[in-house]
Every structure is written in C-alpha cells, then in structure tokens.
C-alpha cells in the first residue's frame, strides 16, 4: 500500500509555503557588502601573520587596506540598498579583528615588547577600547533617532581611524630608523597608544565622513585631481602619507569638539 503525502505539506512535514520561505533566494546586492567585509577581515588576519613573521611594513599596509575597504562596504551597502542587521554585526566583528587585535599585535611586536608586560598591557587596553567603541556603536543602532546634526559626528574615535592613527609610532620608526634600530622612546609610545585607546573609548566627538555623498558639479574636476594626487602620494610615499594623514586627523579633533559644542548649544 503506497503512502500518500497530505495535501499542502512538503516531504519534511512543513507547509510548502513555509519551506519555500526558508530557502528564499538572497539578492546579490545583500552579498556584495558582506563579501567586502570578509575581504577586510582576511586582510586583518593576514596583518597578524605578517607581524608574527616580522614583515611589519606589510602588516601596516594590510591594516591600511582593511580601513579603506571598511569605508567602502558601508557606502556600497547604502548605494545598493543592501544594508542589514546581519551585515552590521559582521562588520563590527571584522572591525574588532582588523582595528583592535591586528594593530595591537603590530604595535607590540614592532617595539612595545621591549617593555615586556607593560607593553602587553598597553596592547590589551588598545584592543579592549576598540571592543568597547564598537559595542557602544552597536547599541546606538537600536537607540532613538538622533537629530540630523548629530549624524555628522562619531562618539569617540572610530575604530579604523584609531588603528591608522594608533600605528603612528610604527610609521615614525620606519622613517627615522629604516635599518630597524632598537626603539628608544618606548615609554612615550605606550603613553601615546593609551591616549588613542582613551579617545576610542571616550565620548569625545569626531567628524564623520558619512555625510559626504554628493559633490557639487563645479568641484568635480578639482576633487578628481586631488584624489589622483593623493593616491600617487600614498603609492610612492606610503609611510610619509600615513604620518601626514594621522597628524591631520589628530589636528581635526579640537575643531570637531568645538563644532559639536556649538551645534549642541544652538539646538538645545
């Protein structure tokens, strides 16, 4: 006697419509930003490998490339209307590895290890500050809608900026001691790394580049020329460019604090 399947049920005993919904195709526009995030994660993990093998310059390059991809994945997701909570959580997990763990290990293996446990403590504080910064950002995703002017600021130094700026001692060591001489200012480097960690974990406002989306027609050519010149400088003088970028970013912090305070007074 042959068995009969109840009408409307799949072989697994689920309603046919329910089974189809469970295996619904995912649009490609949702996958592309996540693939970019995973590529950035691979770069962060590769930076750790380079650091362990002593190729510090390659490790720095991998972290810088991960920072560029981190800036792209969110913009691409918004452009493709492919934002999702899954993508946001994946991005935060990747950011912790790329901009918390990897830079910390690079800092430690490139000079902070000369101070033994104190250097390792600074590395731990840096990674923990990055984790706290990312956790606070995730909480704000479920928080109340912020005023429009608040969206032009980050609360605390963003993790990618913290990684690039936090590696400033490594850049300076490459520039001043290209032969790989022993670091002479490890104590100052530890203080600097702890200061960057404090900025990440603090509530100090920083300018956000997320509002930069459209360029006026008469500024297109100058922006293209400036972008090409900046790219050529980074390719030909990577260490000097990273030093200039780090110092320029640090110089914007007082202006962001003043601008935030002014807007807060005007809108209170």
Domains, the chain: 26-211+236-259 (1.20.120.1760)
C-beta atoms surrounding 78 within 10 Å: 13
Q: Which is more confidently placed, 34 or 4?
A: 34
Mean pLDDT of the chain: 84
Q: How confident is the model at residue 2 (pLDDT cuts 50, 70, 90)?
A: very low
- pLDDT, tens only, 105-120: 999 999 899 898 999 9
Q: Which residues of 83-108 are buried (b: 16+ CB within 10 A; e: fewer)?
A: eeeebeebbbebbbbbbbbbbbbbbb
Most confident of 9-13, 65-69, 125-129, 222-226: 125-129
Instruction: Encode burial over 179-209: b for 16+ CB neighbours within 10 A, e otherwise.
Output: eeeebeebeebbebbbebbebbbeebbbbee
For the entire predicted model, the pTM comes to 0.84
For the cut 60, the answer to whether the pLDDT of residue 166 exceeds it is yes
Per the model's pLDDT, the better-predicted residue between 27 and 126 turns out to be 126
* The predicted structure's pLDDT at residue 18: 52
| pLDDT of 203 above 80 | yes
pLDDT of residue 1: 45
């Amino acid at each position: 006697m042959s068995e009969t399947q109840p009408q409307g049920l799949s072989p697994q005993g689920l309603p046919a419509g329910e089974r189809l919904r469970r295996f619904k195709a995912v649009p490609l526009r949702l996958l592309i930003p996540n693939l970019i995030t995973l590529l950035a994660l691979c770069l962060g993990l590769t930076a750790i490998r380079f650091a362990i093998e002593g190729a510090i310059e390659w490790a720095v390059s991998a972290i810088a490339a991960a920072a560029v991809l981190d800036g792209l994945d969110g913009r691409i997701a918004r452009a493709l209307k492919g934002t999702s909570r899954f993508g946001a959580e994946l991005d935060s997990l990747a950011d912790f590895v790329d901009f918390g763990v990897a830079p910390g290990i690079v800092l430690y293996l490139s000079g902070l290890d000369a101070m033994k446990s104190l250097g390792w403590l600074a590395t731990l504080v840096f990674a923990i500050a990055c984790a706290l910064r990312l956790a606070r950002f995730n909480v704000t995703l479920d928080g109340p809608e912020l005023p429009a002017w608040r969206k032009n600021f980050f609360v605390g130094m963003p993790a990618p900026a913290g990684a690039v700026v936090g590696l400033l001692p490594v850049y300076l060591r490459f520039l001043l001691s290209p032969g790989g001489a022993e670091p002479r200012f490890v104590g100052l480097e530890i203080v600097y790394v702890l200061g960057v960690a404090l900025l990440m974990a603090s509530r100090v406002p920083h300018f956000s580049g997320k509002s930069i989306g459209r360029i006026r027609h008469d500024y297109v050519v100058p922006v293209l020329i400036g972008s090409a010149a900046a790219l050529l400088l980074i390719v030909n003088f990577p260490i000097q460019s990273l030093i200039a970028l780090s110092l320029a970013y640090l110089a914007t912090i007082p202006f962001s604090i003043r601008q935030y305070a002014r807007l807060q007074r005007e809108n209170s």
